[in-house]
Homo-oligomer: A and B are copies of this chain.
């Protein structure tokens, strides 16, 4: 994670501030949820000055959007197992893990909150969705190139991701391996 960010945004101290602030936000979101902490609390936990946060991100909302985008994207490198079925099972299991822990769930909930009217996170959210769709499409294209009969990306989003997201967002039941595999079976 940190290594990745360092690679993306080179520059010693700047990269360390970024990593520390992102980690502080992720922890606070997991502990307290959206809307229950201030820039001052983020800065204190990250060990940086409030002004460093404001200078870099401008506002708490812009910071939150940046964290959601970076973390939910960075956590999902796509599997490449050599078969469509293997890729889909691995990807579904990975998304399930990602959104099941307290921090992942909080980040998912935060993504929804930032999608609200007049929220500053709309551009970031769209970029996140586009990136996710691109990743899924690349996985399906590989299957097609191998001669496999692949579903379209919307089918994966609607019938594998969406049921898991809604289950977790509304606390409607655990994402057991049987449940997650069942979604993939049904799609295939």
A residues near B, CB below 8 A?
A: 31-35, 102, 106, 109, 111-113, 115-119, 122, 125-126, 129, 157-159, 161-163, 165-167, 169-172, 183, 186
Contacts and interface: CB of A to CB of B under 8 A. Distances in A.
The 8 closest A-B pairs by CB, nearest first: A158-B163, A33-B116, A162-B166, A162-B162, A162-B163, A112-B112, A33-B117, A35-B35
Considering residues A35, A117, A186, which has the most beta carbons from chain B within 10 angstroms of its beta carbon?
Answer: A117
A111 B170 contact: yes
A118 B33 CA distance: 8
Nearest to A161: B166
Given A106-B117, A109-B116, A113-B34, A129 B165 contact: no
A158 B183 contact: yes
Nearest to A168: B115
Given A33-B116, A162-B162, A162-B166, 19 more contacts: A31-B117, A32-B117, A33-B117, A33-B119, A34-B113, A35-B35, A102-B117, A109-B112, A109-B113, A111-B170, A112-B113, A112-B169, A112-B170, A115-B170, A122-B171, A157-B163, A158-B163, A158-B166, A161-B166
Contacts of A32: 117-118
A83 B181 CA distance: 31
A171 B117 contact: no
Which of A102, A106, A122, A163 has the most B CB atoms < 10 Å from its CB?
Answer: A163
Nearest to A117: B33
A171 B115 CA distance: 7
Contact of A159 (B102, B112, B115, B159): B159
